[in-house]
Chains A and B, each alone.
Chain A
């Protein structure tokens, strides 16, 4: 159940990331706005607002949501990965 919840939680974050990224990469929703706000173009203010919203979403995902890797989990993950035999992989530096 928890795993299912985290998968959906992750998907929700990814959907948010994609929408806000599209707004940070192209002003399709606000580029038509003319005039100036705070002395700079109003569309530039729109871009900054989208960037700020994405920044907040990233902060929640990385540090609040519990969905991103933490230092508590790190030793266990590294131990699991080290258990995967070196001879299982080829072409890498471990060879």
Chain B
């Protein structure tokens, strides 16, 4: 049976494949540099929307509207105002990534760690990125499954929908590489930003405007407007700080800023990219969060997991069928572009950091081929894990960012602390990730739940959440071990480059 919404979605996916392929063919060659970092040739318009699209995702669209629906305005501290510091954090943490990366032809996230701390750290980083990326990717794949399911009016099962986008993503990534992905991200980034605006105004207009809608929600659900609701547990200050810091610092450490720093063609492009990102996030994600809050007036009784559908359901309730299809397609493209960014970053890490260690003489063709195989394998694992969902999209994504955040210490040490040692970097990273994984196991074994253990303040952790404790432990171990261990030859030799006077 012909389904107009699915036809629109398929058309957008096919268009993405064509854009990706055309962008890649326009490039000069098919070197590994071209494939992985677009030959450091991207201008700032492409960089901004590519970075935006590679971060804004099913999490930002479906996840945040679901979180707004369930938990109210406190969600603004998860992915909006708390991301504005990225403007300077990215500058200070990735200025040297941009400058030294250009000089040394870095193509992966492990490269700066390898050059500063040696091969062990260069091996650990891609593995940790992969581990942390999985929940995030599962969140996107799950979001795509939900969208296909709801857009087809439940004719296409959720499980079948899981295969829809990954097939297209793999196709255009295999054909296009980073340059293709960047152009697809840009087009889709513009598209979903416009669609969020349209849906926001449609939703608010349905109940007499923004103020009238919020008045009505406040009357029926005053808890959504409060901090410290539910006996002080929901949006307590420690909980807010834990979410904010994990998300913001996780954003610093995810592969996308590294890859985009390598791809930037100018200093201005780099600065504009990092500056504009936070502002666009505040505007766009505030809207999706408030769409979710207003969604209480459309669907008052959704459960924790079905709340992930509130974005699609409000689109259905406020727009004509083709308009709803385009609005949800906006969220769909957000999910696919993020999958592109994260999968590509991981494929690049595995090919350039791990495989090159095993086979230093690997040719560009072999690296690109391995990258393609990795893309397929990662997608397959994510589909398998998304098959039986039990954690909402937003919380899945926050878990990923929290795990990544522990790598901020070795990154900072690499660029700003001459006394940082490889032992400190390795011990701090493993301690932080190990603590996070321990809390995940503890959450399952104790029956508290992974989500609660990592995200909700726990009495036995001095009212902090698992992430914050892991983060603090990672920092203490990094500094402590660095101070009591000597600098090795690798660290000593790296100082000349990483602390060159021209970088001051």
Contact = CB atoms under 8 A, between A and B. Distances in A.
Q: How large is the interface on A (under 10, 10 to 19, 20 to 34, 35 or more residues)?
A: 35 or more
Given A71-B267, A88-B497, A78 B87 contact: no
A94 B282 contact: no
Interface stretch (B49-57, B111-119, B479-487): B111-119
Interface in B348-406: 352, 356, 360
B458 interface: no
A36 B218 contact: yes
Contact of A39 (B102, B214, B271, B489): B214
A36 B225 contact: yes
Given A50-B81, A77-B99, A78-B99, A93 B115 contact: yes
Nearest to A76: B502
B237 A47 contact: no
Chain B interface secondary structure, helix, strand, loop or mixed? helix
Interface in B480-504: 489-490, 493-494, 496-497, 500-503
Nearest to A53: B84
A92 B490 CA distance: 10
B160 to A, nearest CB: 40
Nearest to B498: A89
Nearest to B238: A26
Contact of B503 (A36, A63, A77, A92): A77
A47 B77 contact: yes
B83 to A, nearest CB: 8
A1 interface: no
Contacts, number: 167
Contact of A51 (B84, B102, B352, B489): B84
Interface in B242-294: 244-245, 248, 266-268, 270-271, 274-275, 278-279, 282
Contact of A26 (B95, B225, B244): B244
B271 A68 contact: yes
A77 B502 contact: yes
Interface string B50-81: 00000000000000000000000100110011
Interface in B407-460: none
B240 A26 contact: yes
Contact of A55 (B111, B211, B244, B278): B278
Interface string A68-95: 1111011011101110100011111111
A25 B244 contact: yes
A58 B275 CA distance: 7
Nearest to A57: B88
B241 A25 contact: yes
B323 interface: no
B91 interface: yes
Given A55-B87, A89-B493, A90-B118, A24 B244 contact: yes
Contacts of B489: 90
Contacts of A39: 210-211, 214-215
Nearest to A46: B81
Nearest to B269: A71
Q: How large is the interface on B (under 10, 10 to 19, 20 to 34, 35 or more residues)?
A: 35 or more
A91 B119 contact: yes
B95 A25 contact: no
B225 A41 contact: yes
B271 A91 contact: no
A59 interface: yes
Contacts of B107: 93
Contacts of B119: 91
Contact of B82 (A24, A59, A82, A84): A24
A81 B99 contact: yes
Contacts of B27: none
B103 A25 contact: no
B43 interface: no
B226 interface: yes
Contact of B95 (A31, A36, A38, A69): A69
B106 interface: yes
Nearest to A20: B85
A24 B81 contact: yes
27 contacts: A25-B85, A26-B244, A27-B77, A27-B240, A36-B225, A39-B210, A39-B215, A40-B73, A41-B73, A47-B76, A51-B80, A54-B84, A55-B279, A58-B87, A58-B278, A62-B88, A63-B271, A69-B99, A71-B268, A80-B500, A80-B501, A81-B99, A81-B103, A90-B115, A93-B111, A93-B356, A94-B115
The 8 closest A-B pairs by CB, nearest first: A92-B115, A58-B87, A25-B244, A39-B214, A80-B502, A81-B103, A39-B211, A51-B81
Interface of B: 73, 76-77, 80-82, 84-85, 87-88, 91, 95, 99-100, 102-108, 111, 114-115, 117-119, 122, 210-211, 214-215, 218, 225-228, 237, 240-241, 244-245, 248, 266-268, 270-271, 274-275, 278-279, 282, 352, 356, 360, 489-490, 493-494, 496-497, 500-503
Given A63-B275, A80-B500, A82-B103, 17 more contacts: A25-B85, A25-B240, A26-B240, A27-B77, A27-B240, A36-B218, A38-B211, A39-B210, A40-B214, A41-B225, A54-B84, A63-B271, A71-B268, A74-B267, A89-B104, A92-B115, A93-B352
